[in-house]
Structure 1
Amino acid sequence: MESSRKGRTSPTITDVAELAGVSRAIASRALSHESRPVSADKRARVLEAAEKLGFKPNLLARSLTTKTVNLIAVIVNHIHDFSDLDLFDFLIGEIQSIGKQVIFVRVGSVQRAEEFLRNGVAYHVDAALVFSDFAAAADVRKMFRNAAVLMLNGMHDGTSPSVVPNEVIGITEAVADAAGKGVATAAMVTGRISSPVEQSRIATYKSEMKRHGIRLVAELRGDYSYASGRQMAQSSGWTDVDAVFCTSDAMAMGVMDVHREAFPHNKPARFRLYGFDNLSLTDFEAYPISSIGYDKKAYVGEILRFLTRTGEVAGDRVDVTVPTFFVSRATS
């Protein structure tokens, strides 16, 4: 084996296979995230041989063989909401667990998405995950010259598959909780009205409030952020209500901080407070906000199912919904 490597500056997969005493195909599978099984003993021998030789897989060569680059594009408006941090840390880890890496494309506005298209800004990726409501499915397919586009928000077009939470379930439970506690009037602090998801969310809240006889006194528009929640909370003429429904937990946190005196020992004294997203922060004493969430493990699991089957489902309309649920905490 030593003579076979003479003159080479770096070891190859063949060298690893020879040292481990396995075939080249077994060595390749042991060092990749292929689904075909490799026995634990052979995998251990291959990994030991690779470490001993200082072998590093040639990702470019592998991509030419497999026709994949192991890159996943994640299209976002921005990353500053607490809900982004809760989700994306988990999502990136799970994507990396299947041997792929993530590149983020921050769109920020409809005009920015159009600029990407005009300038031909694109990457060679295996698939694109669209969280931005500024990016239309058809535009993303053009941007990446790829039909493997999964819509997780934004502008669906009846072609690309989607995975979205079924928000009706959680909202129905939250409004029913408020009605059961005698809430007769409410205010809403909403997010960006241009978002189709937000439009549907607001419509569901209003429908459920009407069904339970809760009168909507005020509707204030934020942008899902903590800062906008604080700003809306400082507005006059809406706090004389029985409940405030916020369409993000971050905005609900802003409302709570402005009106801390209304929550002695975190209990509602003047109005009940409801959020949305079920952030990990709501499990802590500082912000025990009643909220609506969904099983992020199930949600990300559906995304991974798409990423491991892109060749089968790309271009086919497959809509998957993940149920939401209401979590009652101190503020309600």
Structure 2
Amino acid sequence: MADKVTALDIAERLSVARSTVSRAFDPMSRISPDLRRRILKVAHELGYRPTSAARLIMREYPHVIAVVVRDVTNPVRAGIMTRLIRELERNGYLPLVFQVPNARTMSARIEAILSHLPSAVVMTGFRPPSSVLTLCSQRGTPTLILNRGGIKGLAANYVTSDHHGGGLKAAEVLTARGCRNIAFVSGQSVNDPDASEERMRGFLTGLERAGMVACAAHEGDHSYDSGVRAACEFFGASARPDGVFCSNDLMAMGFMDAARESFGLTAPDDYQIVGYDDVEMARWAAYRLSTIAQDMGAVITATVKGVRQLVEKPDHSIRVVVPVEFVARSTTRDPALQEQEK
């Protein structure tokens, strides 16, 4: 039984002192990274927990799931985390949440995270370094990337919305509604490019298919203020866009407010705009923002199912892409009415 395994058992197996085993579970202790990895790997294999309290937790929650998130101040990501934690707990798992500012910090903290002996690691909001995935694999701990899949050059398990398809759909919406000078606001100036990178790639592909190129671009950071700055940049120039895609709703709302307050321009009369995420504020009367909606319920359900599969079979392959949809509101024109006006 796992609760009969002791630190001495691990020490004897590796021919080290019992105190060395104890230090391996303290992220602040001085111990070589290689030795720490070996001790934690054996502890994981034996189902060892370093304290009696942890073993009591293990009886109620046989599987700890480490959830690593970049930024929970982002309203969409905060919503994802709330639903994910609730569903993991509902399925009998104990989620331990770790917040990291960027991928570099993740690399520095992975040893401490793995010292909790999670049965799986779920990461969201950043592109995990290949070294992190390799270390987890060596430790026998499966990983799953949430809502940031299809990363070129990185073999990893993932469950994600179809961000590329969402960007493609945004381009199709604007071109089908008569926009010819189309600009975009990305979110790629943050520490680690996230799903915005895939949205922009899909959007530019959509423009290319329509025989067009973007007339202007602004690198934002998914904040309201970056949307404000983009509007001032675009409408302060001589060639103004008649269509805009923002890679999240918050930037789109900042863009709309600045366009109205600084230039007297409103959507859809003076320009058309599409956001991304379908956050609650996008439905408010002040915005009525047309946007690309993610089915986060389906994403979370598939993520928890993927975690369960990985816990049962760590080498299981998870590749899930959940479709998105366009939600038409007041910031884009009705294509049927446009056709009648011709």
Q: Is this a same-fold pair by TM over 0.5?
A: yes
> Which runs of structure 2 are paired with 1:111-126 in the superposition (5 Å)?
111-117=104-110, 122-126=115-119
Q: CA RMSD in A?
A: 2.9
The match for 1:132 is: 125
Q: Is the 8 A contact 2:165 2:202 kept in 1?
A: no
> Which runs of structure 2 are paired with 1:228-267 in the superposition (5 Å)?
228-235=226-233, 236-237=236-237, 240-260=240-260, 267=267
Q: Larger C-alpha radius of gyration, 1 or 2? A: 1
> Which runs of structure 2 are paired with 1:1-332 in the superposition (5 Å)?
60-61=55-56, 63=58, 69-117=62-110, 122-136=115-129, 138-140=131-133, 142=135, 145-152=139-146, 153=148, 159-192=155-188, 195=193, 197-235=195-233, 236-237=236-237, 240-260=240-260, 267-332=267-332
Q: Is the 8 A contact 1:137 1:151 kept in 2?
A: no
Aligned identity (percent) is 23
Q: Is the 8 A contact 2:84 2:300 kept in 1?
A: yes
Matched residue type, 2:170: A
CA shift in 2, pair 1:157/1:242, >3 Å: closer
Q: Aligned equivalents of 1:296 and 1:238: distance in 2?
A: 40
Q: Is the 8 A contact 1:159 1:315 kept in 2?
A: no
Residue 208 (structure 1) shift: 0.7
Q: Aligned equivalents of 2:133 and 2:257: distance in 1?
A: 39
Q: Aligned equivalents of 1:177 and 1:97: distance in 2?
A: 39
Deviations 1:276-321 (A, max 9, x none): 1121222222332111122111111101102222234423332111
Structure 1 unaligned segments of length 5 or more: list them: 1-57
Residue 273 (structure 1) shift: 1.0
Count of residues paired in the alignment = 272
Deviations 1:15-44 (A, max 9, x none): xxxxxxxxxxxxxxxxxxxxxxxxxxxxxx
Q: Structure 1 length normalisation: TM-score? A: 0.72
Q: Structure 2 length normalisation: TM-score? A: 0.70
CA shift in 2, pair 1:187/1:59, >3 Å: same
Deviations 1:197-240 (A, max 9, x none): 43332121111112223441111101112222223223232871
Residue 106 (structure 1) shift: 1.8
Which range is displaced more, 141-150 or 237-246? 141-150
Residue 241 (structure 1) shift: 0.8
Q: Is the 8 A contact 1:263 1:269 kept in 2?
A: no
Q: Aligned equivalents of 1:198 and 1:76: distance in 2?
A: 16
Structure 2 unaligned segments of length 5 or more: list them: 1-52, 333-342
**Aligned partner of residue 215 in structure 2, secondary structure:** strand
CA shift in 2, pair 1:160/1:314, >3 Å: farther
CA shift in 2, pair 1:282/1:263, >3 Å: farther
